[in-house]
Structure 1
Amino acid sequence: MKIHLTSVFVDDQENALRFYTEVLGFVRKHDVPMGTDRWLTVVSPEAPDGTELLLEPSGHPAVRPYKEALAHDGIPAASFAVDDVPAEFDRLRALGVRFTQEPVEMGAITTAVLDDTCGNLIQIVHSK
């Protein structure tokens, strides 16, 4: 068994697509119209056939309180692996990305947490 698809709820799919592709560096995999929303997924350019991230619309009534509670408590909605957290932090910060946690070493891992502009906190992490 392996993870095929996971999702983050986004307030605006077009804004999310821009952020996740132009800023974070993912690539669009699927973009299928579904009424007023889209089945919109992105993947890592390093693994185009790997796990897809669905940029899922936040329309369900349970989503808003869920996202607000996570953000209020500083809990990331997703975690992405990078080769070097401090370097990625510098790259993203230069692009105007807002971080809620600067790089922190925690034993064998280093993490940082960013705001994805779509209502989510996203953790970046690397292991030594």
Structure 2
Amino acid sequence: MDITIHTTFLPHTDPDASLAFYRDLLGFELQGDVGQGAMRWLTLVSPAQPDVRLVLTPPAADPGVTEDERRTIAELMAKGAYQSIILATRDLDGTFERLAAADAEVASEPAEQPWGVRDCAFRDPAGNMVRIDEVK
């Protein structure tokens, strides 16, 4: 079997703040920006993995979600408990310092984890948990 990750999705609440975080701070490249206002779908790729797409989506766009569910989603996003992504870097300390210096919301500083990785964590502008693993 030959299966790879092609696309993953994260919700956003502010497309411009999300671009500032993922494109300007983390170095992702914008490949698509569809929609208008807050109802924009942003497709980003890492230059190191151009075949894997991260699509940032407006959570309110799903027609099957009720108003009560939208409120619950917004509450979970604000806590960093709704969605998450794990990224990787060879320079964890440098990446952490760059994001912290840009006032990204630090969730945890670089540390050795009991599950065998050294990582740190931030919340993106929508509250999504962004963990960054150190790779050799």
| 1:13-92 paired onto structure 2 within 5 Å | 13-33=15-35, 37-48=39-50, 50-59=51-60, 60=62, 61=67, 62=69, 64-66=71-73, 68-69=75-76, 72=79, 77-92=84-99
Matched with 2:10 is 8
TM-score by structure 1 length?
0.82
Pair 74,101 (structure 1): closer, same or farther in 2 beyond 3 Å: farther
Displacement after TM superposition at 1:117 (Å)? 1.4
Q: Is the 8 A contact 2:121 2:132 kept in 1?
A: yes
Contact 1:10 1:57 in 2 (8 A): yes
Give the structure with higher Rg (CA). Answer: 2
Q: Deviations over 1:40-82 (max 9, x none)?
A: 210002222x210001102144355246336647676111111
Q: Per the alignment, do residues 66 and 33 of structure 1 end up closer, same or farther by CA in structure 2, a change over 3 Å counting?
A: closer
Letter in 1 for 2:28: F
Q: Are the structure 2 counterparts of residues 66 and 87 from structure 1 closer, same or farther at C-alpha, using a change threshold of 3 Å?
A: same
Unaligned residue ranges in structure 1 (runs of 5+): none
Scaled by the length of structure 2, the TM-score of the pair is: 0.78
Secondary structure of the residue that 1:51 maps to in structure 2?
Answer: strand
Aligned pair partner of 1:110 in 94, 106, 118: 118
8 Å CA contact 2:80–2:127 kept in 1: the answer is no
Structure 1 residue 34 displacement after superposition:
7.0
Alignment length (residue pairs): 127
Aligned-pair RMSD on alpha carbons?
2.5
